[in-house]
Every structure is written in structure tokens, then in C-alpha cells.
Amino acid sequence: MLIEKVQPRFSETDVLGHINNTVLPVWFEAARTPIFKIFTPDLNPHQWRLIVAKVEVTFMGELFYGQEVEVKTMIERIGSSSFVIKQQAWQHGECCAEGKTVMVRYNFSDKTSQPLSDDERTALGEYLSD
């Protein structure tokens, strides 16, 4: 499991004082960087090998400004050319949001999915959730 700590910014709050619902996908994407590096170690966008097929976020509690958030990232499932990243946002020991992102290994020249390599599958497996 990967863990990244986020310090919510004032600009990320809504009129009710909560972290706005549009912020979680951004935090989750930032916390996926170590996964991205499996496929593109230098993060060069011209060598990118992944596309997002689906993103969903379920909110279970409120997140607040000025209080650290812990984003936990793990791999939920590995398919032949895709995998599911499961992420959670925790504040004060409570899971307040959970996200799932389906990523596909992709060839941008051919505009087709590609099978995950054995090395990629092994690297993803290091973060497989129980």
C-alpha cells in the first residue's frame, strides 16, 4: 500500500467548509504517481502508456480544511491489459472517501489496449490489496 499525506488548501473548500467533491479525484490522481512510474519511470508524457477508462468516488464522510488527509493507494485487481486502483482518503482515523480507477495499458500510435508485461504485472502485484 502506498500512503501520501495531503494538507488541504483553503481554495479546496466549498461554501459549507468541507473539501469540495471535485478535489478528491485530483488528490487521488496525484497519489497514483508511483503507479504511473511503473509504466513511465521518468513520467515523460510523450512516452505515456496508460489511459483512464473509469473513475468513481464514493463519499462516506466529510473532509475539512486545515486537517491532514492520508491518501492510501492499492491495486484491487489486475487484468490482462487493465488494472483497478483503489484509493481511500482518511482524516482523523476515518475513511471519508473511496475511489476506484480503471487504468488500461495503451498504445497511443495504434489506439489499442496492450497486454500488461510480466514486469508490469509483478510491480503492480507489490501493491495488491488483500
Q: What pLDDT shows up at residue 90?
A: 98
Q: What pLDDT shows up at residue 29?
A: 96
Q: What pLDDT shows up at residue 45?
A: 93
By percentage, how much of the chain surpasses pLDDT 90? 94
Q: Classify domain 2-125 by CATH number.
A: 3.10.129.10
pTM above 0.85, yes or no: yes
Q: Contact at 8 Å (CB) between 81 and 115?
A: yes
